[in-house]
Structure 1
């Protein structure tokens, strides 16, 4: 069974949602048979690549609220993160264009390190004080810390076209599936779950999608057949 998760590094609920989903997956009886793939979704693809700034001021402008209200919202998210055992900086974080990060995540997928890189990017954005966005050297350091080779990371970042089509394809597919925000989870292309739902909701979706997979072939045995060890001989009177 495959679970696809559309996310953005800027999204705090993607950070929380990943942890809640993984809690459910850990308890799932068929965990070893579940493939998880992370898909790209930019919350603000129009941001210039070199633009960054304080996230609280950005939230206040975006939603038309005061910075005090935005800060209070951040503290609320921080409390949710703490309940999950996650570190979350409620002030001092930045925001920015995440396109290059998504390109690197597709590269990481091709070498089997996508999940490790996503976790590293989340930690760098939400749990570490050093700014992440609009800083190539910081991004390289985070990727290398996740186990990617520095020369390969720099090669991807130096080529604006590398994995760009993959990112755009993910975003187009999200639109076709009706996803207008993230995180957005799709279970075996049967069920969609929107938002950082409780682990119990993800557990239910896993179980239901697993149960409703294509039915296995029902075999009727008992007839004569041949196999690697030879043929069954009919009984003689």
Structure 2
């Protein structure tokens, strides 16, 4: 069974939802048969690479909040994260994530995507150092098990994995995702938002139970097979 997760590394609810989903997955009896794939979704597509600012200012400008309202929102997110055992540093930087998504597709090609996602969430929400810096991203890529030179080359080439990011975003639109986090289980069940772990538990069970039974072609036709007694060769 495949679970696809559309998210953005700057999304605090994605950070929380990831922890809740992993809690549900850890208790799922068939967890070893579940493939998790992370998909790209930019909250601010087209934002310039160097356009980085404190998240409080983003909330004040985008939502029309006062500074005290923006800070209250950050405190609420701190509480929500703590409820999942997640550290949360207030006042983090915010910027465009296109390069981060490209790097995640590179990590996927190397079989290290999940490791890098986890590190990026930690770096963005639990540490003081900004992730909107190429050398910081390279260091995280290395920590995830990737080659520093290869990661640096991806970040230096705006075309590297760009088509993969755009394809994910088009697919999200086609599936009806209007925000993130957005989970799709076996292309049968969608879960939108940072739902409780119990909701992910139910969704996993439902998706597993709705899988069609295996249809075996050729059973009983006399076709040659190998079995416990060996592989007989007809005369």
- Report the TM-score when normalising by structure 2: 0.92
Q: Distance in 1 between matches of 2:73 and 2:192?
A: 20
Identify which of 160, 166, 169 aligns with 2:167: 169
**Structure 1 residues 1-237: aligned runs within 5 Å:** 1-89=1-89, 91-133=90-132, 135-217=133-215, 227-228=225-226, 229=230
CA gap 1:73/1:213 in 2 versus in 1, 3 angstroms: same
Q: Are the structure 2 counterparts of residues 225 and 110 from structure 1 closer, same or farther at C-alpha, using a change threshold of 3 Å?
A: closer
Structure 1 residue ranges without an equivalent (≥5): 232-237
Q: CA deviation at 1:217?
A: 3.1
Shift of 1:224: 7.4
Residue deviations 1:46-81 (CA, integer Å, cap 9, x gap) = 311111011011112111111111111111111111
Cα distance in 1 between the residues matched to 2:164 and 2:207: 26
Q: 1:44 to 1:225 in 2, by over 3 A?
A: closer
C-alpha displacement at 1:2, in angstroms?
0.3
Q: Distance in 2 between matches of 1:35 and 1:6?
A: 14
Report the 3-state secondary structure (helix = DSSP H, G, I; strand = E; otherwise coil) of the residue aligned with 2:4: strand
How far off is 1:215 after superposition?
1.4
Query: Aligned to 1:86, what secondary structure does the other structure show?
Result: coil
**Over alpha carbons, which structure has the higher Rg?**
1
Q: Which runs of no fewer than 5 residues in structure 2 stay unpaired?
A: none
For 1:38 and 1:196, the matched residues in 2 are separated by 15
Give per-residue Cα distances to partners, 1:15-34, cap 9 Å, x unaligned. Answer: 00000000000000000000
CA gap of 1:216–1:66, structure 2 versus 1, over 3 A, is same
Q: Judging changes above 3 Å, is the alpha-carbon distance between structure 1 residues 64 and 110 closer, same or farther for their aligned structure 2 residues?
A: same
Q: Displacement of 1:116 after TM fit?
A: 0.6
Runs of 4+ in 1 over 6 A off after TM superposition: 221-225
The change in CA–CA distance for 1:230 and 1:149 in structure 2 (over 3 A counts) is closer
Distance 1:164 1:140 in 2: 18
Take 2:72 and 2:24, find their aligned partners in 1: how far apart are those partners?
29
Between the aligned partners of 1:41 and 1:222, the Cα distance in structure 2 is 48
The change in CA–CA distance for 1:212 and 1:54 in structure 2 (over 3 A counts) is same
Q: How many residues align?
A: 231
Helix, strand or coil for the counterpart of 2:38? Answer: strand
